């Protein structure tokens, strides 16, 4: 991605210069862009980004967090029924139990994943 000052006045200010941003290609769900450094020895200057692999454990942690959030939202929605302004709405234990069963099954599947391919098969 190129960055060019939109205002020519800025480009002519002392200390300002054109720069290009060099972002590496990444493999989705396998690599992420990390930190950057500046190469000021070339014109235009370069903002060079690095990348690193995402570990299997990192991917599993991300999936576990997503699954936990889904379960938590179901529980919170049911709890909110007990404190809303409508007496006819009631906490539904069966809804929470069904969500818990699904949550536990998803966590077991995530925990049993060993490779990136196993995680891909979970359907992130």
pLDDT score of 1: 45
CA distance readout (Å), 33 to 15, 26, 95, 106, 112? 27, 7, 40, 28, 27
More confident residue, 10 or 63: 63
Q: Judge if 34 and 77 occupy the same domain.
A: no
- What's phi and psi for 30, nearest 5 deg? -125, -25
Q: Tell if the pTM clears 0.75, that is, is over it.
A: no
Same domain, 48 and 79: no
Q: Which residue has the higher pLDDT, 33 or 87?
A: 33
13 versus 124: which is more confidently predicted? 13
Residues 61 and 115 in one domain: yes
Place of tokens 């995680």: 119
Nearest by Cα to 49 from 20, 27, 18, 22: 22
Range of the domain at 8: 2-53
- Taking the C-alpha atoms of residue 99 and residue 75, their distance in angstroms, rounded to an integer, is 8
pLDDT-derived band at 7 (thresholds 50, 70, 90) equals very low
């Amino acid at each position: 991605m190129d960055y060019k000052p939109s205002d020519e006045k800025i480009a002519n200010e002392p200390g300002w210069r054109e720069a290009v941003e060099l972002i590496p290609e990444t493999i989705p769900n396998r690599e992420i862009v990390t930190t950057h450094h500046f190469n000021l020895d070339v014109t235009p200057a370069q903002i060079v980004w690095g990348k690193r692999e995402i570990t299997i454990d990192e991917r599993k942690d991300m999936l576990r967090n997503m699954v936990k959030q889904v379960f938590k939202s179901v529980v919170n929605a049911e709890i909110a029924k007990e404190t809303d302004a409508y007496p006819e709405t009631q906490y539904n234990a069966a809804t929470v139990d069904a969500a818990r069963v699904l949550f536990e099954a998803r966590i077991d599947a995530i925990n049993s994943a060993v490779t990136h391919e196993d995680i891909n098969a979970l359907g992130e």
